Amino acid sequence: MSKAIIRPATEQDTDLILHFVRELAIYEKAEHEVLATPEHVRRTLFCANPSVFGLICEAEGRPVGFAVYFFNYSTWLGQHGLYLEDLYVTPDARGHGAGKALLQHLAQIAVERDCGRFEWSVLDWNTPSIEFYDSLGALPQNEWIRYRLTGEALQALARGKEKAAA
């Protein structure tokens, strides 16, 4: 495979991004959870002042992967951090440097933006990705438990009401 080319995603990549999102969700056994539409992607990634950004990875003249990221903030460091929401490389392009090229490009963005951290999450059963991240010197953050509010629980908290007891 030829050298990977990383470029910013454009609005013309909307359908491609959604295609990669669905492939990633299938790999993660969560295809039923993908609710994003082309309008969602256009409204969030390609608006006047986006707070989330996308990259497309191409090899041999065709798209083989993508990454979506945003900036967060660490009060302890007093610096922004770069958070990688999604990274996906098509199965036929894995093992040829596309994933590493995306991560290296993101690390360069983090350094250029004076970020103190570059973080992401990985499913605990995704051994190939964990081994890949370990090989890059990334360290798991086992002392933190990630929490999430969605759906009715999110709506209830926003209304000032607690979720009904289970």
Residues identified as active-site: 133
Answer whether 44's CB lies under 8 Å from 18's CB: no
Name residue 62's beta-bridge partners: 59
In a 13 Å sphere around the CA of 66, the CA atoms on its Cβ side amount to 22
Under 8 Å between Cβ of 58 and 153? no
Strand boundaries in 13-78, DSSP class E: 52-59, 62-74
The residues near 39 (Cβ < 8 Å, ≥ 6 apart) are: none
Question: Which residues make Cβ contacts (< 8 Å) with residue 101, sequence separation at least 6?
Answer: 3, 4, 6, 57
